[in-house]
Chains A and B, each alone.
Chain A
């Protein structure tokens, strides 16, 4: 019996007004890597929250059976003592504490009533070695990169002697290299007997790593695919996820209408006084009218820094050289307002942190960057505002009962559409999109891509920053690749391959 570690039987869960899960069955074999996929809102996270006791026993229907025993978890603590450990998408680490303190946070190693620091450090070192993170255990958490922080989370789970580890979107904020390392680590853990459930949107990784893939759709389990025997393909998974065959992940632009140069960055260098280092060095790029320019690179390559330094320089860099040219005119923006007034828009990479005003409704967010367009004298015409917001909501298909819906309650894909609606309403000539499809499902991605195509077909230009190579290749007319604050190359057409871009992004020679 022992080859089934977990069985979730007939799980149903409702939130006020929504049935999140409807009779889901989910079975995990001992020692496998089991990927859980599905569109946003399909119920993956809810299912895992039930398993880990975040949604406590009694708030759902159905049975959880771990190692042949029916479990009733009332809290995370109870699920942890059964050997289940969850690592959420938003990491639960404390930046001010050391790595060792974080690993043992909540289950400190005690000697009497005091913390046994020697033992803590010794054991922390062991766990760090196990996850292949080469830093001293006394390093403050905040000094680690996201990729390394993720590893600390895994070390923390190991220290709790987890038999079943749940990872929710572990690679969503990692670059390709860190992702690859993480996947290797997961394989090693599997060898050591840890069972892993991984939620992921990155199907490419799923195909690489999964022994079994379970697809959820609209709160129901669609199927479980055995990948250990015969390999599963991405398009197969996508077909189950969306219930339709998506031959083209990237919509084809009807006609390209690329004009003259709209915007160029020349010899642009910037110094960050807070980090005391140069963040951008001699950057040159240009964007033509009606063109989608991809900006590829690994995390920390300086892409977001470049966007921010152009868009009103809110981080307060010292621009040490170079110039920006818009419509043949040399420009410099001291605030986002000036950039917006000159026809530039910037959709941030983290819509919740600095893209949207979550407690406000769709209407408020849609018009916020261009209230000027609604002014009648000194007064905002609220009726006109509702009309305009409704027009955009319909035209880009934001799924919500009305524009008075609070943005907080929308799904990730719909939130991202509100961000785009805001910038479309501001009518920029050049739109910088920073990770426009991060953390949203396949269906919504397709809609965002189509929307981008529509924007450029109307003469707008787009710079798309993205860490997903296929997306950059699929959508861009030309691609600039950045590494450590420099542009290391420009590719287009047949040269735009994953391999070429990866070499430029890591600044290595093509072999």
Chain B
């Protein structure tokens, strides 16, 4: 035991503890506190135990019904945009040039949607899709397609999904492109020698080498789309009716619209928990894949 004992180090760490306590731990504990209580305004609180959590998971109650419905919509939304953005991103990455000035041009163009603030993206599409003054909405109606995202559920969904694809496919494409660039030229030459078709090259070389970046892309896109708020809120406000009300929108309605702090706190804790679990699953899968790779390289 010749460890130096120097308690002064605590003073150096203390500021961080304080900042984290005030910015994260205390607010979170407040939320936990609210989630156990009910309020009728005037800062009057009544103990409710785990009542809100029970209600949340029971679809027959108002709170549970709204939560589970929005959760279902949210999961469906995430699935749809993943099913579109991942294959589309791969195709875009595969068709990008590999050298020359066009590479830089492609990268800049692809990066543009990623640089636009989210509420601006929402505003762009909100105006773009309007049947009276929006280019898209006007043209669609003019050629005979009855399109109105304010009144039609399906039109609203299509608008929100197309908007997300427009906004985020670039991210998947850029990640895939990075993965593709890391494949040595010899692999393609060997595949040529082996008489591999374009599809066989994709399946045997490109897809396996893109594995890891694709996993990251899926993780990022899933989390982002699961927490989506700004863009659909700006475009549809969660409507028509409740048809595009995702979990975050529902949460804000309950917390700030109805000022039901107890219900909202319980909902946000469950919401948080879901995100943590999904993160943990992805993290485990990814580090396992990483370990496997290290194994290979260690053996090589």
Real complex partners, A and B?
A: no
Q: Residues of A at under 8 Å CB distance from B?
A: none
